[in-house]
Amino acid sequence: MKLATKFAAVLGTAALLSSSALLAGDGKTFKEKVVVEPEATKWWSASLSTGWDSLYMFRGVNTLPNPSNGYGSSLYWTQLGVTFNLTENDFLTLAGWTAFGLTNSSYKEFDAIVSYTHTIGALSLKAGYTMYALLNANQTGLYSNELNVGVAYALEFGSVTVTPGLNYFFNVGPNLGNGGFVEQSASYLEARIDASAPLYKDVVSIAPYVSFGTSFRYNFSTQDNPPSPFVGTNNIQTGVALPVAVSENITVSPYVAYSYQWYGLVGTTPSTFWGGGSVTFTF
């Protein structure tokens, strides 16, 4: 569940690449976090990204836990996105994201993403829709319709950019037991700060982030028996990516990330490290 495109401003960062080159370690959160601002000379732009994550971490949860080793399945994903420059300050992005579990080879997922962004100087406002569809054998037919809104503000300190942002995600449905895998009307709030700084000319940069999530009956807690949706602070997460511009149109971005959660999220250890990498082609 990601979005990687050629973005200049970050919304809560991930969503989209969203998520620019992919930023540090959000698993499908990449697609939730970036706002696109394509070159003014083009009325459209496109990006193709593919990557590997050692864990499928999404909103603080290890989505593909493996009871046999206490860790989880790695994930291979690919995303194609196209952005249309409606005006100098308005952008519409359409994207598709597909993923396959590697250790858990039966897991398959497809997400369809629509995102609209309006910029006012350094301020970015975003509204979007995502349809998540699970295609693996044990969960075929499960899907979710999600609406989201976000705001971010890019602060520049010389060559360093710091972008605080806030994203809110609302599950329209369907409900559990009726084709859905998230409780209907459940929602999730993420506050995050992203930064970007050059390390070597325009070739190598560093992109750290920190985020704090709150679940409104979105995630399940093992503090209840059986596990049930909860309202409360979800997790704190941090990570860092090292985007390397191989050429004007190709970026390689390895990352490492860490999440700590205290609500007993299903399938997730309290303290979790993971990493991965991606390559993004822009057109």
Q: What is the pLDDT of residues 80-112, one digit of tens each?
A: 999 999 999 999 999 999 999 987 778 899 999
Please report whether residue 237 resides in a domain.
yes
Across 11-15, 60-64, 149-153, 223-227, least confident range: 11-15
Distance CA 86, CA 190 (A): 28
| Range 169-174 average pLDDT | 96
Residues facing residue 14 across a β-bridge: 32
Please report whether residue 1 resides in a domain.
no
The answer to whether 34 and 20 are in contact (CB under 8 A) is yes
- Domain containing 125: what range? 7-282
Single-letter amino acid code for the residue at 154: A
**pLDDT averaged over every residue in the chain:** 87
What pLDDT was estimated at residue 70?
61
Residues facing residue 91 across a β-bridge: 85, 117
Distance CA 260, CA 270 (A): 6
Please report whether residue 124 resides in a domain.
yes
Question: How many separate domains does the chain show?
Answer: 1
Confidence check: pLDDT of 256 > 50:
yes
29: helix, strand or coil: helix
Please report whether residue 171 resides in a domain.
yes
Residues 6+ apart with CB under 8 A from 69: none
Across 42-51, 129-138, 264-273, least confident range: 129-138
Residues facing residue 170 across a β-bridge: 147, 187
Strands (E), the chain: 7-15, 31-36, 44-53, 57-58, 61-62, 75-85, 90-101, 108-120, 123-134, 143-153, 155-157, 160-173, 187-200, 204-221, 228-241, 244-245, 250-260, 271-282
How far does CA 238 lie from the centroid of its chain? 13
Please report whether residue 242 resides in a domain.
yes
Single-letter amino acid code for the residue at 2: K
Residues 6+ apart with CB under 8 A from 77: 2, 28, 50, 51, 52, 53, 97, 98, 99, 100
Please report whether residue 2 resides in a domain.
no
Please report whether residue 203 resides in a domain.
yes
Residues facing residue 194 across a β-bridge: 163, 209
Query: Residue 171 belongs to a domain with what CATH number?
Result: 2.40.160.40
Please report whether residue 172 resides in a domain.
yes
Query: Considering the entire predicted model, what is its pTM?
Result: 0.86
